Amino acid sequence: MNDFLERKLARRFRAHDHDGNGFLQRRDFELSAIRMCEEFGHGPESPARQRLVAISLGLWEHLKKVADSDADDRISLAEYKAAFAAGMLETPESFSASYVPYINAVIDIADVDGDGKLTVSDETRWMGTLMNVPEQDARDGFHRIDKDGDGLITASDLVETIRGYYFDETPESPGHWLLGRLDK
């Protein structure tokens, strides 16, 4: 694993570690999904909220299954990186199966006007609440994802960017900026 990918994985790990304790745990996935839903006004009875929470917990269960090597119900950064290096977390072949439903659930919550596209405001709000991305970093990422400059991004744009985050080693790619600059 090269240094660039290691920095990406460490940044992704921190995005999920909402309580900052150095481990990924079930509550990190559940609470971040709930926090995002509440940011956009989706209460406990919202079907969109229930779906995002269920998908987030499903992602946690998959992650725990493939990365929790010591079975302590938490995942360290070393376990996370080892699972990725072994091809157990994300592969180009398995990527769409997990990320397309996840991003569609995010769009269902964050797309305030219901047009299937996110504005910079929508993007900064969901990235901040769900992924711990500072507002300016989310804004910078949005402008790189919005390749046509129309001020909107789609689920396809986000999926392509996330794919680039994991599988494109080009520092200029939008994926490189998804969670903020990697030199931070």
The reply to whether 20 falls in a domain is yes
> Is it the case that residue 60 has pLDDT exceeding 90?
yes
pLDDT at 124: 96
Within a domain: 107: yes
Angle at 16 between CA 99 and CA 150, to 5 degrees: 55
Round to whole Å and give the CA distance between 152 and 6. 30
pLDDT tens, position by position, 143-177: 999 999 999 999 999 999 988 888 888 877 888 88
The amino acid occupying position 23 is F
Number of domains in the chain: 1
| pLDDT of amino acid 83 | 87
16-46 tens-digit pLDDT: 999 999 999 999 999 999 999 999 999 999 9
- Domain assignment of residue 180, yes or no: no
The pLDDT, as a whole number, for residue 123 is 96
Average pLDDT in the chain: 90
The residue behind tokens 């992650």 is 63
Structural domain of 109: 3-175
Residues 81-101: tens digit of each pLDDT: 988 877 766 666 777 777 889
182 lies in a domain? no
Quote the pLDDT of residue 88. 65
pLDDT at residue 61 tops 90: yes
Q: Is residue 35 part of a domain?
A: yes
Within its chain, how far is the Cα of 126 from the centroid?
Answer: 10
Residue percentage of the chain with pLDDT more than 90: 69
Provide the pLDDT confidence category of residue 184 given band limits of 50, 70 and 90.
very low
Other CB atoms within 10 A of residue 99 CB:
19
Q: What is the mean pLDDT of residues 48-54?
A: 97
Q: Is residue 37 part of a domain?
A: yes
Could you tell me whether strands 23-24 and 75-76 are parallel, antiparallel, or unpaired per DSSP bridges?
A: antiparallel
Q: Is residue 184 part of a domain?
A: no
Q: Give the residue from 105, 106, 84 showing the smallest Cα distance to 95.
A: 84
* CATH code: domain of residue 136: 1.10.238.10
Average pLDDT over residues 48-53: 98
Quick check: is 181 in a domain?
A: no
Strand pairing category for 153-154 and 117-118: antiparallel
